């Protein structure tokens, strides 16, 4: 009996002196596919592409149809402009470039370039007006046609018809202005302002350019911008009153208009 008590006491002491195992840190794993999907949805990647608003699709369709001769519902366009301006959103500086962007619709004070553009509209002449931005060099070129001739087709002059087109194009009367612009620091997000400095401008008649006293600072407010359509506002009246304060212009990339 005395031996049994001794053995039990030794066992108790051994148990107290035995080091305890280090507790393991448990890693939680999703229980099933649905839980995994829920976690991914709750933490989307930072580079997730931004879906284009339906209002942008509708506005681009309306102004493009107007360029092609359809009647434009100005009130509906105005509502869509306001809706997109209230959304704003990020955009990439590279989207500013990509060739000529056509001014297809405006709201507010009618700019001089639009008056020139519509001079021969009654005769079926479809003059272009727009801008070309060069983001890498921070340059901008304004372009407007007074007598555009046969425009809007970019096929090579391989037939008699298109050689005639080039002959008429040589008689174009166009307006142009060149300058520079600045981008705000950090990621671009509409609405934002782009300071512009126009260095020179002139009228080109029959291939000869006549310089005009057009120069000075300006400001362009980007209300909305995506890869094929953008909405600009003129918060200030330009020194030559080429554009007045309150003007809003919808521009569409020319390639998107031609291929529509």
pLDDT tens, position by position, 81-106: 999 999 999 999 999 999 999 999 99
pLDDT for res 100: 94
Nearest to 168 by CA among 153, 182, 186: 153
pLDDT for res 186: 87
pLDDT band at 115 (very low <50, low <70, confident <90, very high): confident
Nearest to 90 by CA among 226, 233, 232, 256: 226
CATH number (1.10.287, 2.40.128, 2.40.160, 3.40.50) of 74-258 reads 2.40.128
Alpha-carbon span 225 to 50, nearest angstrom:
12
- The CA–CA distances, whole Å, from 194 to 93, 108, 177, 197 equal 11, 20, 17, 10
Q: Mean pLDDT, to the nearest integer, of 173-187?
A: 91
pLDDT for res 96: 94
pLDDT for res 243: 73
Statement: residue 36 has pLDDT above 70: no
Q: Mean pLDDT, to the nearest integer, of 12-36?
A: 45
Alpha-carbon span 252 to 230, nearest angstrom:
7
Alpha-carbon span 60 to 77, nearest angstrom:
9
Q: Mean pLDDT, to the nearest integer, of 2-30?
A: 45
pLDDT for res 207: 83
Per-residue model confidence as pLDDT tens digits over 117-143: 676 665 666 788 999 999 999 999 999
pLDDT for res 244: 79
Among 76-85, 173-182, 249-258, the range with the most confident prediction by mean pLDDT is 76-85
Q: What does residue 73 show for φ and ψ, rounded to 5 degrees?
A: -80, 95
Query: Residue length, the chain?
Result: 260
Statement: residue 156 has pLDDT above 80: no
pLDDT for res 121: 66
Average pLDDT, the chain: 77
Q: Mean pLDDT, to the nearest integer, of 20-33?
A: 46
Which pairs from 59-66 meet CB under 8 Å and 24+ separation?
Answer: 59/84, 59/229, 59/250, 60/228, 60/229, 60/252, 60/256, 62/105, 63/104, 63/105, 63/250, 63/252, 64/104, 64/252, 64/256, 64/257, 64/260, 66/104, 66/105
When mean pLDDT is compared across 35-39, 65-69, 91-95, 125-129, the lowest value belongs to 35-39
Statement: residue 69 has pLDDT above 80: yes
pLDDT band at 172 (very low <50, low <70, confident <90, very high): confident
DSSP calls for 18-85: SPPPPPPPPPP--SSHHHHHHHHHHS--TTPPPPPPHHHHHHHHHHHHHHTTPPP-HHHHHHHHHHHH
Q: Where are the domains of the chain?
A: 74-258
């Amino acid at each position: 009996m005395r031996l049994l008590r001794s053995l039990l006491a030794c066992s108790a002491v051994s148990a107290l002196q035995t080091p305890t195992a280090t507790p393991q840190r448990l890693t939680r794993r999703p229980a099933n596919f649905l839980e995994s999907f829920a976690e991914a949805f709750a933490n989307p990647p930072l580079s997730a592409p931004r879906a284009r608003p339906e209002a942008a699709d509708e506005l681009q369709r309306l102004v493009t149809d107007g360029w092609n001769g359809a009647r434009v519902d100005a009130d509906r366009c105005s509502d869509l402009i306001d809706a997109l301006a209230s959304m704003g959103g990020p955009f990439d500086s590279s989207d500013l470039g990509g060739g000529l962007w056509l001014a297809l619709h405006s709201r507010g004070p009618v700019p001089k370039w639009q008056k020139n553009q519509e001079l021969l509209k009654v005769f079926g002449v479809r003059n272009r007006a727009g801008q070309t931005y060069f983001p890498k060099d921070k340059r901008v070129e304004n372009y407007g046609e007074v007598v555009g001739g046969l425009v809007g087709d970019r096929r090579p002059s391989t037939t008699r018809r298109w050689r005639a087109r080039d002959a008429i194009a040589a008689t174009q009367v166009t307006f142009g202005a060149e300058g520079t612009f600045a981008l705000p620091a950090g990621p671009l997000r509409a609405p934002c302002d782009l300071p512009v400095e126009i260095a020179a401008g002139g009228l080109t008649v029959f291939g000869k350019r006549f310089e005009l006293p057009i120069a000075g600072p300006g400001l362009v407010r980007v209300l909305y911008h995506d890869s094929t359509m953008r909405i600009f506002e003129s918060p200030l009246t330009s020194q030559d009153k080429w554009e007045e304060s309150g003007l809003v212009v919808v521009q569409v990339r020319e390639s998107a208009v031609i291929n529509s």
